[in-house]
Amino acid sequence: MNILEKITLHHNQFSKSERKVADAILDDPKSTIHYSIATLAKLADVSEPTVNRFCRRLDTKGFPDFKLHLAQSLANGTPYVNRHVEENDTADEYTRKIFESTMASLDVARQSIDIQTVNRVVDLLTQAKKISFFGLGASASVAHDALNKFFRFNVPVTYFEDILMQRMSCMNCNEGDVVVLISHTGRTKSLVDVAQIARSNDATVVGLTSEGSPLANECNHVISMKVPEDTDMYMPMASRIAQLVLIDILATGFTLRRGPKFRENLKKVKDTLRGSRYDK
């Protein structure tokens, strides 16, 4: 992992003052490489020895060495492809890098997720009159996967990739409906509009998105995950995998909450599919 991933991964293990340093760096890593130790200490509202101690906790020799590692982290990767992959990587190298970086990102996401919010959202889904899953771009495929999972649960489920259909669907929402909006950045203007429409029609809006984002601010409930991936610069990879895992978590919670009798219905659904497959 590069230095930014280490900061994100170990964020909860830092002391209170070290977390202040971490947050100041994560807020603007590009500017941090130009800061003096005094500037960073002032921004984080800590002492200079605290900054040095923070740097050594990340296995660097001090602040200058830390800035060098940070600059390397920001320079890594191939723009519009993957920040872990270099132009001259062999098939073996980029295959290994993508697997390893994805597993590391999933571990960061796992540690950052709020279980109480997951539990509350599962409650809402099990009580919903209708569930809608919407996303755009890379997140549209995640919303489609959610449709495939929840369609078999004997509850009305909708999915539209077209933004006009999403808007019309939300115009027809009612109290008791749950609209799940999926966006890694939470900065897609069309989805923010959809959230506003759904809420104005008394639906409960759940965002699987970044905390504090414009979309998150329009949602009733937000499940956020810290996935160290800049999708403005690189193809969505780890963030999309994390979203798919989160859909699996919600689907599993839904199934367990409904109890053993409900799983009998799932067995019937599986049985109807067997005729469409060749025997093993």
Query: Contact at 8 Å (CB) between 11 and 20?
Result: no
Q: Thinking of the domain 112-273, which architecture would CATH place it in?
A: 3-Layer(aba) Sandwich (3.40)
pLDDT average, residue stretch 2-21: 87
pLDDT for residue 77 is more than 70: no
Q: State how far the Cα of 274 lies from the Cα of 138, in Å rounded to an integer.
A: 31
Q: How far is CA 212 from each of CA 43, 174, 194, 218, rounded to the nearest angstrom? A: 20, 26, 17, 10
Q: In the CATH hierarchy, which fold is given to the domain comprising 1-76?
A: Arc Repressor Mutant, subunit A (1.10.10)
* pLDDT score, position 80: 42
* pLDDT score, position 183: 95
* pLDDT score, position 267: 80
Q: How far is CA 82 from each of CA 37, 94, 107, rounded to the nearest angstrom? A: 31, 9, 18
Residue type, 48: E
Q: Is 112-273 the same fold as 1-76?
A: no
Q: State how far the Cα of 213 lies from the Cα of 219, in Å rounded to an integer.
A: 10
- Closest alpha carbon to 241 in 37, 103, 73: 103
pLDDT average, residue stretch 220-225: 95
Compute the mean pLDDT over every residue in the chain, rounded to the nearest whole number: 88
**Extents of the domains making up the chain:** 1-76, 112-273
pLDDT for residue 28 is more than 90: no
- Closest alpha carbon to 163 in 194, 204, 133: 194
Q: State how far the Cα of 157 lies from the Cα of 7, in Å rounded to an integer.
A: 39
- Closest alpha carbon to 191 in 203, 182, 200, 201: 182
pLDDT for residue 191 is more than 70: yes
For residue 250, give both structure tokens.
């919600």
Query: Contact at 8 Å (CB) between 41 and 48?
Result: yes
pLDDT tens, 134-171? 999 889 999 999 999 999 888 999 999 999 999 999 99
pLDDT average, residue stretch 200-210: 97
pLDDT for residue 109 is more than 90: no
pLDDT tens, 123-138? 999 999 999 999 998 8
Confidence bin at 106 (pLDDT 50/70/90)? confident
Higher pLDDT: 37 or 107? It is 37
Helix axes 115-127, 238-258, angle to 10 degrees: 60
pLDDT average, residue stretch 111-126: 94
pLDDT for residue 233 is more than 80: no
pLDDT-wise least confident of 1-5, 203-207, 210-214, 253-257: 1-5
* pLDDT score, position 143: 97
Confidence bin at 105 (pLDDT 50/70/90)? confident
